[in-house]
Structure 1
């Protein structure tokens, strides 16, 4: 069975037409989860001027600041054209995207960043450790998923933001919230979204949360000395999620936050942290039991 690249080459050969160039920044990354992650979803307003322009199994957010647009996350490389099409579908010009915020240096969330940055001229923003991974286009050496291997298109220019630092564009101030554990460079993002309701302005706090899943490649142990910083990172992230203002939760993988594409129920961020907390407790118990 032909893949897309082979099919184009075959059609060109039989027709005499030139073979179309393959875009290295959107070349598909094969994954058994890709079809589920990238299942199509219509662009959707969340609240105020915050929108979703991603997929059924992978969140990508868009913020209209009044003085330019901000994207959050970039999904897989092959997802970049669909993300930009969704931005256009909402009536926006992708060239107005000024910043692209990254949650983590893994291919499923960062793979599309290089293409999106190139096609929009936007600046990619990440944590210090996240930026290292984006520039390298591969897992950090201490990443629990390192043994999975693989790489993604590297991002040449990355602006670093630290925990608690605020990015302001137009009428929107976005706060960086370090949420390590899944990776040591994971970063969540928080901002106010306002809308006119019942003759007045109502504002809600939106949190785009990085993954908090305590998962790893086979053979990795969070109970080993190398895993201790990640366990401590998870604990710090839980404390932040428990205490943070959070009216609307957008999770990097929406199914981790409940049903639907976002969670606007009271306590959404605390529930998100509690889900991971229980999974980590179970994982550590299983590792200790296996070691006996």
Structure 2
């Protein structure tokens, strides 16, 4: 199978942006902010990283690249916490921009690391799938996720959901967050990127062609969840200016409780996935 022009252009765009931040990590810097009480955005302009102050210690979802780790640590400090107190790191999938700083963080904090079962082979015999794998030191995985079983951290319950496609093990999170007034449902999709999902790219990478349909199917299931607040893994995936909306938030979450935001985010990717599947079908004749 030949990789079509659209897929080549998308991959080139994704890798160019990644390489730009790897070469000039300071350009990704942004101020952390409180989303709701006990939940903070501590990522950068490129990758979303989220800090949770739970009753069982600090939990971090994704850690971005090793090159931007100093930005992550500084954002945690600015949010009012000692980064050495991070106890648990959840990694959504095995690409460099989500797990690149895992070893550094593990050495610095001694944190436990939970990783998707379906992406474990990225860390062993297929390190090339990490993307720029030479920049990702090996790290120790504490455990993998048990899907659709909530991990209870007291004031937060993290429910990992298997959403394959972007990678075989890509994991999303539906998070029940207790506030003084109510319990909110936070939604974080672990990997909405369409790069690598054409049939030709899947074949070239030695990955199951079924991932394309699995991606669409998982989106069609998770879109039904009654998410109150969206935590994007990449703000650029939202079809609008997510950071502009977040800038209006006062830390209570009110500005981010946009009706239908989850459905807008996921629905846009369903549309793009269907277009990709249609292009592949037309190419196959």
Is TM-score (shorter-chain normalized) higher than 0.5?
yes
| Residue 234 (str. 1) matches residue 215 (str. 2) | yes
Which residue in 1 is equivalent to 2:151?
167
Aligned pair partner of 2:78 in 71, 82, 89: 89
> Is residue 137–residue 153 contact of structure 1 (8 Å, CA) maintained in 2?
no
Mapped to 1, the partners of 2:68 and 2:190 lie a distance apart of: 18
Alpha-carbon spacing, 1:135–1:171, altered in 2? closer, same or farther (3 Å): farther
Task: Encode CA deviations 1:143-171: one digit per residue, 9 max, x unaligned.
Answer: xxx8x664422222331112112222242
> Is residue 176–residue 190 contact of structure 1 (8 Å, CA) maintained in 2?
yes
> Is residue 128–residue 162 contact of structure 1 (8 Å, CA) maintained in 2?
no
The TM-score normalised by the length of structure 1 is 0.77
Which residue in 1 is equivalent to 2:19?
31
Mapped to 2, the partners of 1:47 and 1:150 lie a distance apart of: 35
Mapped to 2, the partners of 1:137 and 1:115 lie a distance apart of: 21
* TM-superposed deviation, 1:216: 1.6
Which aligned pairs between 1:184-203 and structure 2 lie closer than 5 A?
Answer: 184-196=168-180, 201-203=181-183
Aligned pair partner of 1:287 in 263, 280, 285: 280
The residue matched to 2:19 in structure 1 has which SS?
coil
Which residue in 2 is equivalent to 1:78?
67
Which residue in 1 is equivalent to 2:200?
220
Mapped to 2, the partners of 1:217 and 1:241 lie a distance apart of: 19
* TM-superposed deviation, 1:212: 1.6
Greater shift, 46-55 or 231-240, is seen at 231-240
> Is residue 92–residue 115 contact of structure 2 (8 Å, CA) maintained in 1?
yes
Which residue in 2 is equivalent to 1:99?
88
The TM-score normalised by the length of structure 2 is 0.79
Task: Encode CA deviations 1:174-194: one digit per residue, 9 max, x unaligned.
Answer: 111111111111001121233
* TM-superposed deviation, 1:134: 4.1
Alpha-carbon spacing, 1:217–1:266, altered in 2? closer, same or farther (3 Å): closer
* TM-superposed deviation, 1:218: 8.8
Rg larger in 1 or in 2?
Answer: 1
Q: CA RMSD in A?
A: 2.9
Mapped to 1, the partners of 2:138 and 2:52 lie a distance apart of: 24
Using CA pairs under 8 Å that are at least 6 residues apart, name the structure with larger relative contact order, 1 or 2.
Answer: 2
